[in-house]
Amino acid sequence: MTVAGGVQLWAEERGDPAAPPLLLVMGANASGVLWPEELVDLLAARHSVVRYDHRDTGRSSAVLDRAPYAVADLARDALAVLDALGIARAHVVGMSMGGTLVQLLLLDAPERLRSATLLCTSALGAGLADVAGTSGLPGPAPALLEYWQTMGGDRDRAAELDWRVEHWRLLGGGVLPFDAAWFRALEERAMDHAGSVRGPVAHALADQAGLDRGAELAAVRVPTLVVDAPADPVNPPPHAAHLAAVVGGARLVRVPGMGHALPPPVHAPLAAAVSAHTAAADAG
């Protein structure tokens, strides 16, 4: 689909088209196919699930070099995906930076959201969006910050796969067992989908203006679920509790052992939490 500025976005629908639509919004520098197939299938049992590639990831247009944009512009891309598919209102799930984008949708386009689910993320103005450094909440683990310095390096396929698998090990948080082969297969699919072995870095370079809006979240009235990932090394506790406290009417649910990743052990509890939340929102 083509959106503002001639940017083309790749998207995929799965499940019964007549079922309640659910839009999955991935994190920074991550294509839509990093939503694991098994998790998407679980969600598709009740929803028409849409996942898509942000600009500068996967099969979507790479544009940052010729047309710089802000992180906030990626939230407008999410709405453009819904528009292109003829979806007036959807349940929306955002992970990591995707959770930041969904918070912007809660503030700027609440009429388009049936419900929101936020996972592995922090409140606007906190965490990686704490540009002023005033939130007082903890930042990412030092080992992760150090590893990020090598992001986007010039590596062949084998070396890049090794880098990405080690990245997932660090993101996983060390509580749940780490299945390196499973994450390698996930990243092999992502590379094949993108047609490139080079890791995307554009979102780390995008303008962060307009993200310091945490004070506005108290006015949210869209049913919102915050998923607490207690082993998350990017947004460690108490980020999830803080987010649930500042978003109007939000509920908090914990997935034990979950870090900043979506390995098989979290698929069933996460899908169950999301589906219960969306069912309650639809009933209400």
Work out the number of other CB atoms within 10 angstroms of the CB of residue 117: 27
- The ranges of the chain with pLDDT < 50 are none
Distance CA 49, CA 224 (A): 18
User: Which is catalytic among the residues 31, 48, 60, 96?
Assistant: 96
> Which pLDDT score, from 0 to 100, does residue 131 have?
59
> Which pLDDT score, from 0 to 100, does residue 173 have?
98
> Which pLDDT score, from 0 to 100, does residue 5 have?
83
> Which pLDDT score, from 0 to 100, does residue 81 have?
97
Q: pTM of this prediction?
A: 0.97
Task: Write down how long the chain is.
Answer: 284
Identify whether the C-beta of residue 52 lies closer than 8 Å to the C-beta of residue 11.
Answer: yes
Task: Give the bridge partners for 13, in sequence order.
Answer: 50
User: Which is catalytic among the residues 73, 77, 228, 232?
Assistant: 232
> Which pLDDT score, from 0 to 100, does residue 98 have?
98
Is 96 labeled as catalytic in the residue annotation?
A: yes
**Alpha-carbon separation of residue 203 from 84, 128, 221 (angstroms):** 23, 12, 29
- Coil, strand, or helix at residue 174? coil
Domain residue ranges in the chain: 4-138+200-283
User: Which is catalytic among the residues 54, 203, 239, 260?
Assistant: 260
Query: In CATH, what class is 4-138+200-283?
Result: alpha beta
> Which pLDDT score, from 0 to 100, does residue 130 have?
72
